[in-house]
Chain A
Amino acid sequence: MKFRTIAASLALVVAAGCAPAQSGSTGEGGDERTGTLRVWLFDEANRDPKEKVVDQAIAEFEAAHEGVTVDVQWIAVESRADKFAGAFNDPANAPDVAEFGNTDLAGYVEAGAFADLTGDVESWEHGADLLPDVLDTATVDGKVYGIPWFTGIRALYYRTDVFAELGLEPPATLAELAETARAVRQAKPDMYGISVGGKYVYAMLPFLWASGGELARPENGQWTSALTSPEAIRGVTAFADLISPGICPPEQCADFTGTQSVQAFAGGKAAMTIGGDFNRKAVEEGGLKGKYAVVPLPGTERGSIAPAFAGGNLLGVFGASERRGLGVEFAQLLASPKYQSEMYSAMGNLPTLASVQRELARNDPFLQPFVESMAAGTRFVPATPAWSQIDAQGVLPTAIQRIATGEARAREALADAERQMNEAFGG
């Protein structure tokens, strides 16, 4: 008899739970005008300057809105996936406003967590001033889900002292870039011609795009990888060829990430690197102040600029937020011209408003090459949730590394990568 009760209760448990758990769909949210506004911002290696700017904005916001307090939580970039997944699964504990990377956007939108801000951006006084390429990175299926807070553009850093000593000119095409890099390492065997790495996908993408290739194409609402087109193969090969004994030996460079590539340059181990406007501090703290310059990464033709990857962070409002209006207003305040330029002086982040960018570039020649790259047109990764998966599975780094180490020919490695990408798009 006892066994029967046990069996029955077991059957009940099985019947009740024969599907994996799902949390309830995101709530409707509300528009309360008082109370605590919860905000998630990314923690940075050196947070103090960022925190000061944010504190200033909070003080201004709280003074303008009686009965409102802003509570900021700092989220580590590395553990963001867990944090956000937790917030999506439990809307009651989600913040009202959150900063997030634009490459994560499509996945977050699929989870249905963020509110549609299209109308709020249109009616915003600075909405029309947002750079179109940047606003595109905040858009999924024609709807805007975040206010672009700042953007990051990469360009070519090079050592002016080394170039002067060897009588070299900054390269005008990608082919010249490889030649110049080879020439440097020949003259200085303990230096990398250019420090790039197998895991530095954002440095590879401009090569791919400049050669006329694409990561993937949308066809009838379904993305299809385009990595095996002749243009894409040419572009990826041109990048992977930089990871070779004559330029940046695979033993050291095949596993470099973007940060490691820039560190090698900042440490004086490389004559060139591909770095972002946000890497300026790292490079100057490495003791290279006055010994380096930045030019836009050249394209395949003389005088052209390789399309840069438009990275950057957005400020979104959670759909389940009880204080939607306040959340939008706070995000707009942080993204206003005043705080964008404050953030630039604090962290070196490139603004997303055209007028602020122009203004800053006029006063700071360092920004010129980045603004120029941006004006030449930027590109973005496929706006689909599958991108997070492709990124996490290391599909592109694996392909680059297989080519660079000679484990596979470019066509073969890219065909494998294409298959994996299509699997991710299909699933």
Chain B
Amino acid sequence: MATRELTPAPARTAVPPARRTRRRGRDGRSAALYLAPAAVLLLGVLAYPIYQLVVISLYDYGQAEAAGNAPLVFLGLENYADLLRRTQFWVVLAKTLGFAAVCVVGSLAVGTALAVLASRVRAVPRMLLFLAALGAWATPAVAGSYVWLFLFDADFGLVNEVLAGLGFDGMAGHSWTFGTYSAFGLVAMEVIWCSFPFVMVTMYAGIKGIPDEVVEAASLDGASWPRIATAVILPMLRPLLLIATIQSIIWDFKVFTQIYVMTNGGGVAGRNLVLNVYAYQQAFAGQEYGQGAAIGVVMTLILLSVTALYVRSQRRSVELT
């Protein structure tokens, strides 16, 4: 599917030159007309805010400046230099990347596994599986975070109670949100829980879209099940997997609510800060909008480059197969 999209349509070149320009002119005009509403919308809600973000990041822009009570001072790249000089920024960035990677891999693994399961069970269990997944998907992030916190509460949480009941006496009163890794792990589980349904639904649709004949042919040729899965099904699912992965990277890199709620604004001594919460705490709560905008721009750039790298690597491997 993807390979077809990627190869340029050869029909175009056959059109004679004179007619081509005229047609292209007319085509271009109607295309522009059709695209205009989307372009206006994108300019308004995407280009303009990003432009403002970049502009603000070049100024010393706080509450006094916004209220017009202090002159604007143009800093150039000073906000960025300041940010890159801070050790804490690099620590938080590394933690964010690690945390996002775990969440992406986790939700892809869980989502794909459950999609395979869903495609191989009967209708009733499949419906139950989908209902459960949609329930997790539909839960608002704040509500989901609190439910998980209650479950893992040190004194009253169900998890500790069950573990203590099973004989793990040390678990009574154990605080899950205190240790750095334990808190990150808990939040990662919650993030995976609320983001796997998207992966699962997408992959399920992909699996259902694979013609039975292909699989049948492969098995007639004597391919084993693991071989069919890796050499036939997976390559055919790759375009969908690509979309699911990019979506997950974007979501999980930008996690805010879960960390903010579950670790109480970044954990003890800020050990569980991720970039988004860090930006909020350092800049927006402190009303240093210029500094916050700089973090926003840096985040956008990182996200774009990670995604671009990933898309490129995938595109190359798709072309090879």
Contacts and interface: CB of A to CB of B under 8 A. Distances in A.
Given A19-B72, A26-B69, A110 B55 contact: no
Nearest to B155: A252
Given A23-B66, A401-B269, A389 B286 contact: yes
Contact of A394 (B67, B178, B265): B265
B270 interface: yes
A269 to B, nearest CB: 10
A385 B68 CA distance: 16
Given A110-B63, A110-B70, A251-B154, A17 B55 contact: yes
Contacts of A81: 285, 287
A85 B281 contact: no
Given A20-B72, A251-B175, A389 B55 contact: no
B55 A19 contact: yes
A405 interface: yes
B287 A24 contact: no
A64 interface: no
B284 to A, nearest CB: 8
A405 B268 CA distance: 9
Interface string B33-69: 0000000000000000001100110011101111111
Contact of A389 (B68, B265, B287): B287
A18 B55 CA distance: 7
Interface size class of B (residues with CB under 8 A): 35 or more
B67 A23 contact: yes
Contacts of A198: 268-269
A332 interface: no
A113 B64 CA distance: 10
B293 to A, nearest CB: 9
A198 B266 CA distance: 13
Contact of B67 (A113, A250, A405, A427): A113
A101 interface: no
A393 B282 contact: yes
Contact of A25 (B68, B74, B178, B285): B68
A14 B268 CA distance: 44
A394 B281 contact: yes
Interface residues of A, number: 41
B64 A111 contact: yes
Most buried by A among B60, B63, B264: B63
A394 B55 CA distance: 27
Nearest to B284: A392
Interface string A73-100: 0000000010001001100000000000
Contacts of A110: 63-64, 69-70
A81 B287 CA distance: 9
B288 interface: yes
B60 A427 contact: yes
Interface string B251-280: 000000000000011101111000000000
Contacts of B59: 19-20
B178 A251 contact: yes
Interface in B59-97: 59-61, 63-70, 72, 74
Nearest to B269: A401
A254 interface: yes
B56 A20 contact: yes
A14 B58 CA distance: 14
Interface string B150-191: 000010000000000000000000010110000000000000
8 contacts: A20-B65, A26-B69, A85-B287, A198-B269, A254-B178, A388-B287, A392-B281, A397-B269
Given A22-B72, A85-B63, 8 more contacts: A18-B55, A88-B67, A110-B64, A113-B69, A390-B286, A392-B286, A394-B270, A402-B269
Among all A-B residue pairs, the 9 with the closest Cβ atoms: A112-B69, A389-B286, A392-B285, A401-B269, A88-B67, A392-B286, A251-B175, A22-B68, A402-B269
Interface of B: 51-52, 55-56, 59-61, 63-70, 72, 74, 154, 175, 177-178, 264-266, 268-271, 281-282, 285-289
